[in-house]
Structure 1
Amino acid sequence: MGVYIKGLVLTIVYILSYNLIDSLIVFCTYNLLGAEYLMIAAPISNIIILTILIFVCKRFFKTGNEFIGLASISMNELLVLTIIAVCTIIVQDPIFNLFEILGENSLPEIGELESSLEIRYQLGNFISTVLLIPVVEELFFRGIVLSSLLNKKKSFYSGVLFSSMLFSLIHFNPWDIQSSIPIVLSSLLLGIILGGIFVFKRNIFQVIFLHVIFNLFAFILKINYPNYIAILKSLDFGLIYWLLFLVFLLILLITLYLFILPISKKKKK
């Protein structure tokens, strides 16, 4: 039980530290450089947090790379991880649109949507969301929390589920609970996939790459949000929508199975 409490405390400290550092950087950037430079605040915050996490990881993994894993990645593995990322973001769509599917909310009108942010803000968001946040989150949730559970001989299921729950917790917004529910549930699913791959492959670079590709596609969807909504409206959550969901779910499950299978066989031997 102690290691679970430690993981929860570490996550709370992580959330508080992240928000404190981010708020300080935003405050300093706004007051020293002006509002037009706020797009650099998030990348700077993540670089600072990443630097801190690297030192923390060194402390947690001073016995070697047994749990964190620093092996290289082959081109075939990059391709497989990309397929997993794309399938995951498509399979998550019903979760993201949970209340729209249930009829609680309706899809926004396309004319009411902004097509994209200014280029300078897109660049800041890209650097932070696609390049830095995946590294920060994977080093913490898989590199520190999940590895600590594995090091304490906790079961695969409890370790992955607990670290995934903590991972989903940081995506919860207490000021907007309804909007947070789909995000938390989709983050839980992503965390389970990342955690499962990390447990079997023992390679932090693989889960970082998968997370980067996932966030890249999420970023592309965000800046093309009107087109995404237009596609949803044309499908109308009907038969074709659910057939596509089942196809990509099947591809995801088969790809995960084939990706992890060789490792499972080695462990049995």
Structure 2
Amino acid sequence: MTVWKAIKISLIFIFLGSFIYSLLDTLKFFWDLNNFQYSFYKIINNIIAQICSFLITKRIFFSSEKIILKKVSTNSFILIVFVLFVLGDVSFQYGFNNILDIILKTNTMGNVNGGNIPLSYFILRLIKGCLVAPLVEELFFRKFIQENLAKCYSNTFALISSSILFTLYHTDLNSSVQIFILGIILGIIFIKTQRIEYSILFHSILNFVIYIVNYSYQEQSLQSSSSNFMYVTVGLLTIILGVWILKRKKFI
């Protein structure tokens, strides 16, 4: 796969998801939904749009690709690497988001719901963030895009390119740095293990931890700049340590 084809397929994937979501969103005009009900409706629409766009894209461009997910082995080494990556990424995102809030005077880390989110809504968010999103995004960006790019280019080029496309897919300018770093981590895991199951598992665990942190974060409480830089530094060093371990030791 050439990089231009990867870009084209990724843009089609993004467009299909947005188009399907927009179509489903028009149905709200036929129902009398309050703000809270509409929040539920948006998540359900997002899940449907993400799954449908993936299935359509796979049918058109990757029909020959076999998707067989196998059981992953869990040993102490795997757990250590996963803990390092999760803690490192959460620490980095926490500090980096707080720094952005201070500079841009935004409220990324504030929880407007004060933590009082109904259990049903919380569960639905978990299904989307910890099951649907990791499965769809890892299969598309790592298994399909990164793996096929690596057949024509180096692993490094495929890793960076797929991570950039992964970042663009999320269309979140404020979190682009964090998402790109996450893409790099997920890509490295896939390269070292040659098992997409590990990337899916890590993505799912990370989303779960981040969502729990955001769920329990009830009000804006910005730390000092020095504390935020400490979180960012510790997070990056922890991620680097995880990468170093992966490069020196066989993963499975």
Instruction: State the TM bucket, normalised to the shorter chain.
Output: 0.7 to 0.9
Matches within 5 A, 1:7-86: 7-28=6-27, 31=30, 36=37, 38=41, 39-52=43-56, 59-61=63-65, 72-76=72-76, 77-86=78-87
CA contact under 8 A between 1:168 and 1:188: conserved in structure 2? Answer: yes
C-alpha separation between the residues in 2 aligned to 1:203 and 1:209? 10
Alignment partner, residue 141 of structure 1: 141
Is 2:90 aligned against 1:89?
A: yes
CA contact under 8 A between 1:98 and 1:182: conserved in structure 2? Answer: no
C-alpha separation between the residues in 2 aligned to 1:31 and 1:18? 22
C-alpha separation between the residues in 2 aligned to 1:11 and 1:135? 16
Matches within 5 A, 1:106-255: 113-116=112-115, 117-152=117-152, 154-172=153-171, 180-227=172-219, 229-230=220-221, 233=222, 235-238=223-226, 240-255=227-242
Q: What's the CA shift for 1:15?
A: 0.5
Q: What's the CA shift for 1:88?
A: 1.1
CA contact under 8 A between 2:138 and 2:199: conserved in structure 1? Answer: yes
CA contact under 8 A between 2:97 and 2:109: conserved in structure 1? Answer: no
Partner SS, residue 164 of structure 1: helix
CA contact under 8 A between 1:194 and 1:207: conserved in structure 2? Answer: yes
Q: Which consecutive residues of structure 2, in runs of 5 or more, have no partner in the other structure?
A: none
Q: What's the CA shift for 1:205?
A: 0.7
Q: What's the CA shift for 1:213?
A: 1.4
Determine what percentage of the aligned residue pairs are the same residue: 21
What is the one-letter code of the residue matched to 1:143?
K
C-alpha separation between the residues in 2 aligned to 1:9 and 1:94? 34
What is the one-letter code of the residue matched to 1:255?
G
CA contact under 8 A between 1:95 and 1:182: conserved in structure 2? Answer: no
CA contact under 8 A between 1:130 and 1:213: conserved in structure 2? Answer: yes
Q: What's the CA shift for 1:142?
A: 0.3
Q: What's the CA shift for 1:40?
A: 3.2
CA contact under 8 A between 1:201 and 1:260: conserved in structure 2? Answer: no
Alpha-carbon spacing, 1:80–1:99, altered in 2? closer, same or farther (3 Å): closer
Alignment partner, residue 261 of structure 1: 248
The range that moved more, 81-90 or 136-145, is: 81-90
Q: TM-score, normalised by structure 1?
A: 0.76
Q: What's the CA shift for 1:70?
A: 5.1
Q: Which consecutive residues of structure 1, in runs of 5 or more, have no partner in the other structure?
A: 173-179
CA contact under 8 A between 1:22 and 1:41: conserved in structure 2? Answer: yes
Alpha-carbon spacing, 1:75–1:171, altered in 2? closer, same or farther (3 Å): same
Q: What's the CA shift for 1:167?
A: 0.6
Per-residue CA distance 1:50-73 (angstroms, 9 max, x = gap): 5446656863535x98xxx85723
Per-residue CA distance 1:11-44 (angstroms, 9 max, x = gap): 1100011112223334447747966361533333
Alpha-carbon spacing, 1:53–1:209, altered in 2? closer, same or farther (3 Å): farther
Alignment partner, residue 177 of structure 1: none
Alpha-carbon spacing, 1:57–1:98, altered in 2? closer, same or farther (3 Å): farther
CA contact under 8 A between 1:49 and 1:136: conserved in structure 2? Answer: no
Q: How many residues align?
A: 245
Q: TM-score, normalised by structure 2?
A: 0.80
What is the one-letter code of the residue matched to 1:138?
E
